[in-house]
Chain A
């Protein structure tokens, strides 16, 4: 069931760059490995949430963190033989606004997998990974391929 790093990267690239909403937001795949994924969203004028400051909208960060969590779970799926996932819940804490006109990166880690559920943590930052804009915690339900 193991996927080669090249095949995993191709799957991840498809997920990050061709899904319509991901492509509309301009997502770029930074890295993927089993259980982990990282995505960047470039700053754009039309994605601003507060016109007084030029800071990217919280909704964009929400979509980015959701997508990064999904990427981390999918990268686990490549190793553990499940086909699809659905988000059960997603909690996001916003620590501070992004810097004005700053790109935002999200890193997600699927840190626990049971037979049916994947647990994921993620954080988003602009320049320093140690100084997050937002952190996320999510649970996904897994749909496994039928045995045999």
Chain B
């Protein structure tokens, strides 16, 4: 499978990706994940703001999607731990994320993710995580 097919396969087979409404595209080896705004993603009605858990979950799925591209596997890789830093409130609009695979070992990958809305220079949140790689 090509990298694009692997990414499409990952997005298609995980039901929770569809629940969020998440999409992702590859430009060469660089993937950008997109989460279009939808009312069910709101966590604070008065601001309004995206749910912090949604932003965290979106970045976690971005890391897993990126890993599905760089480390082909028939199974979904598993999250070991994640640390989420919230930098700005997520506005009621589309949010984007990119993952940077910092290291792939034999069993474990270290991935950093950054999410932004209007401009990449003002990130909304960041995630660092470790993931257990499934066999091919």
Instruction: Decide yes or no: A21 and B61 within 8 Å by CB, A47-B16, A49-B76, A90-B56 being known contacts.
Output: no
Residue pair B51, A46 in contact (C-beta under 8 Å):
no
Q: Chain A residues with Cβ under 8 A from B57's Cβ? A: 57-60, 62-63
Residues 72-93 of A at the B interface (beta carbon under 8 Å): 86-93
- Distance in angstroms from B129 CB to nearest chain A CB is 9
B83 contacts A19, C-beta separation under 8 Å: no
A46 contacts B60, C-beta separation under 8 Å: no
Q: How far is it, in angstroms, between the C-alpha of A52 and the C-alpha of B77 when the chains are bound?
A: 12
- Chain A nearest CB from B6 CB (Å) reads 16
Interface size, B (range): 35 or more
Q: Is A64 an interface residue (CB 8 A)?
A: yes
B84 and A63: CB pair below 8 A?
no
Whether the pair B85, A88 counts as a contact (CB closer than 8 A) is yes
Indicate if the CB atoms of A90 and B52 lie closer than 8 Å: yes
Q: How far is the CA of A92 from the CA of B79 in the complex (A)?
A: 10
A58-B79, A89-B84, A97-B78 are contacts. A66–B16 as well, Cβ < 8 Å?
no
* Closest A-B pairs by Cβ, 9 of them: A63-B53, A59-B57, A57-B16, A66-B53, A21-B51, A24-B40, A20-B42, A48-B15, A91-B83
List 7 additional A-B contacts (Cβ < 8 Å) besides A47-B19, A62-B82, A65-B53: A21-B40, A59-B20, A60-B16, A62-B60, A86-B89, A87-B52, A94-B81
